[in-house]
Amino acid sequence: MARKHYRIGIMFSTTGSYSVVARSMLNGALLAFQENAEADGAVTLEPVVVNPSGDLERYRALSLELLGAGIRQVLGCYTSSSRKEVIPCFEKFDGLLWYPSHYEGFESSDNVIYTGASPNQHVLPLVEYLASRVGTRAFCVGSNYIWAWENNRIFREALTARGGTVVAERYLSVGDTEFDQVISAILEQRPDFVFNNLIGTSAYAFFRAFRAACRARGIDQVNEIPVASCTLSEPELAEIGDEAIDGHLSSSVYFSSLESPANAAFIAAYAKAFPGGPVSSADAEASYIAVKLLAAALEQAGTDDARAVRAAVASQSLLAPQGEVRIDPQTYHAWLTPRIARSTLNGQFEVLLEARSPIAPDPYLVQSSPRFASAMRSPVLRVVQS
Amino acid sequence: MTSRLLQNFKGGRALVVIGRGGKEGSLESTLAKLGVTTEYPEIVDGRAQIDVGNLQSERDILFVDGDLEGAVAIEVNPISRLPPVPVIGLVGVEAPSRLKALVNLGATSFLRKPVHGGAVYTSLFMGVNQFMLRSDMHARLQDLEERRRSRRAVIRAVIFLMQQDGLDEESAYSQLRRESMRARQNLELYCEEFLSRRASAPDIPGRATSITLRGGNKQAM
């Protein structure tokens, strides 16, 4: 029987301020395409790769271009702002966007399959870990867009409920690398830890500058003011550089260091296919998973019609590099396995804690948060002496 | 006053009063994601069969199709204009008369038909929280109204003390305020009880008898 052939859109900003993660996502996706081509399955997939370069208008234009060319399944986006920008296009043309990155939740479009982590799978486990083992006074920094705003809001409410305090929140434009004032404020406040929602080059610059500022003042940053993130991955550690690579906490559903046959095979195949890097990441794995699930759903549905594929993916499960993954039929988000890890000098993560099994996605935190928003206490800001 | 915001609707029940034809779109499936169950009250002779007595404002949300004329009969508070539970209007025909009917039912939020899944959380959030906010405002207004009515007792108590103890107005007021705070009562209630105690103690020497601010009597003090 002839194999059915489908063109699949791939839309990642492989240039721009967050291109390192995006290139690892592209690699993860392309690896799955390669494995699909080598397998004798019922479908063949042809990637049609576009690069919006981090420009929101380009995301929208390229989505329309892909959908207008008859492509109905697109894997893409890293930032939530880009995803929210393109969703109306997918809803209008009834296409399906496969979104392979962790995000802040409070969304559930019928035209999106979410294979990255929901907030109950990244930020809430991190709050639990930090409050019980590190401390309860947090200083939040983030890139100035929806991801950091909302993730900080969820973080603040969860930490406040545990008796903790957010002493301040600071936001910088995506790509901004000027951190002197923020770091001065952190050192003035001396929180128990920094909660980081900066992305891309901003994050790498912050890690370097913060470590250097602490060193200059004789502060053991790793032990006295550790930085915790829901975004930090292996290719980003390489970008931070040796001077500040170790001791950072990260909450994620995947780390390259996981020990399992499935992950060993994934890491080996990835390294062989992309010797020039960037190395794999949680978002690369989520992209890999998305293409695998898409291929299985296309095979089951026998068509690339969005509704048929969406219906088919609900019954798929996969032994992924992180462990078992399946799509929740109500929210079309993934069951994933949360983990907390700390970065090491060799550019990897040492896993400190992990869930025993995949946990259900809860994008609206219906099962994971109180009914009422916690009282909006202002962060305890103090005037920074100039 | 700080109003609490409801942001997790788990355990809620949506009563969706809508005409036949499946135009509710993705309302039910999206509500399910938000932890809200959906029921469709039967419509008999043009009237939705809702057990109004069993409605609970903490749990229930009423979605009303504006295209159904008079399908919902619920009592709206004549002063606050609030229904017993939050009402969210489902808007099909965008005519002023139909929107007005929904406003008259006390709708605090709206959703266009066919319902788009991406709009449901916002509408629910606004509808429920506006209902709570308006309920809080109404309670506060009632409290202020009650205190306004009781203000006469403060005036009478001040005059009483001025006449009885020879205090000036400011000292009399300060004394009453201090004592009301000590009694953990608002000033108006304290003054009412203060006057009531004085009224039932006829042997107080020098008790004022010339205070005539009763029952709309506008004689000069």
CA-closest candidate to residue A237, choices A228, A222, A248: A248
The reply to whether CATH 3.40.50.300 applies to domain A120-256+339-354 is no
Q: What span, in angstroms and rounded, lies between the C-alpha atoms of A112 and A106?
A: 13
Alpha helices (H) in chain B, listed in sequence order: 27-33, 96-104, 117-149, 151-165, 169-182, 187-199
- Partner-chain contact A330 B32, CB within 8 Å: yes
Number of H helices, E strands in chain A: 12, 15
List, for residues A197-223, the tens digit of each pLDDT value: 999 999 999 999 999 999 999 999 999
Rounded to whole angstroms, the Cα distance separating B213 from B215 reads 7
For the stretch A256-308, pLDDT in tens is 999 999 999 999 999 999 999 899 999 999 999 999 999 999 999 999 999 99
Q: Which residues in chain B are contacts of A108 at CB distance < 8 A? A: 30, 33, 117
pLDDT higher than 70, residue B2: no
> For A4-116+259-335, which CATH superfamily applies?
Response regulator (3.40.50.2300)
Closest-CA distance, B43 to chain A, in angstroms, reads 29
Classify residue A333 by its DSSP letter: B
- Spatial contact of A179 and A194, defined as CB atoms under 8 Å apart: no
The conformation of residue B20, written as its DSSP 8-state character, comes to S
3-class SS letters over A127-172: HHHHHHHCCCEEEEEEECCHHHHHHHHHHHHHHHHCCCEEEEEEEE
* pLDDT tens digits for range B27-84: 999 999 999 999 999 999 989 999 999 999 999 999 999 999 889 988 899 888 899 9
Q: How far is B78 from chain A (nearest CA, A)?
A: 29
Task: Tell me the per-residue pLDDT of B72-129, one tens digit each, with 9 for 90 and over.
Answer: 988 899 888 899 999 999 999 999 999 999 999 999 999 999 899 999 999 999 999 9
B30:A108 CB<8 A? yes
Q: What is the DSSP string of B104-160?
A: HTTEEEEEESSPPHHHHHHHHHHHHHHHHHHHHHHHHHHHHHHHHHTHHHHHHHHHH
- Using CA atoms, how far apart are residues A98 and A76, in angstroms rounded to an integer? 6
User: Cα distance from A85 to chain B (closest Cα, Å)?
Assistant: 13
In B, minimum Cα distance to A361 occurs at B33
Q: What is d(CA A200, CA A236) in angstroms, rounded to the nearest whole number? A: 8
Q: Give the model confidence (pLDDT) of B166-214 as tens digits.
A: 999 999 999 999 999 999 999 999 999 999 998 776 554 544 444 333 4
Contact B33 A110 (CB under 8 A): no
- Where on the phi/psi map is residue A365: left (φ > 0), alpha (ψ -120 to 50), or beta? left
How far is residue A215's CA from residue B191's CA, in Å, rounded to a whole number?
A: 66
Domains A4-116+259-335 and A120-256+339-354 share a fold: yes
Q: DSSP readout, A335-372?
A: EB--EEEEE-TTS-EEEEEE-SS-B---TT-TTTS-SB
Q: Which two tokens stand for residue A322?
A: 């992180």
Does residue B26 belong to the interface with chain A, where contact is any CB pair within 8 Å?
yes
* pTM, to two decimals: 0.84
Helix (H/G/I), strand (E/B), else coil: A121: helix
Q: Do A369 and B32 touch (CB under 8 A)?
A: no
Is the alpha carbon torsion for A128, A337, A357, A151 positive or negative?
Answer: positive
The CA distance from A293 to A297, in Å, is 6
Contact B33 A331 (CB under 8 A): yes
Q: Where are the domains of chain A?
A: 4-116+259-335, 120-256+339-354
CA of B6 vs chain A CAs: smallest distance (Å): 4
Residue A365: list chain B partners with CB under 8 A.
8
Catalogue all structural domains in chain B, each as residue range(s) with its CATH number. 13-145 (3.40.50.2300), 150-221 (1.10.10.10)
Residues with Cβ within 8 Å of B115's Cβ and at least 6 positions away in sequence, in order, are B23, B24, B25, B26, B27, B30, B90
Q: Do B7 and A372 touch (CB under 8 A)?
A: yes
Residue A145 tokens read as: 């867009």
Q: How far apart are CA A18 and CA B140, in angstroms?
A: 50
Query: CA-CA distances (angstroms) from residue A93 to A10, A119, A306?
Result: 17, 28, 10
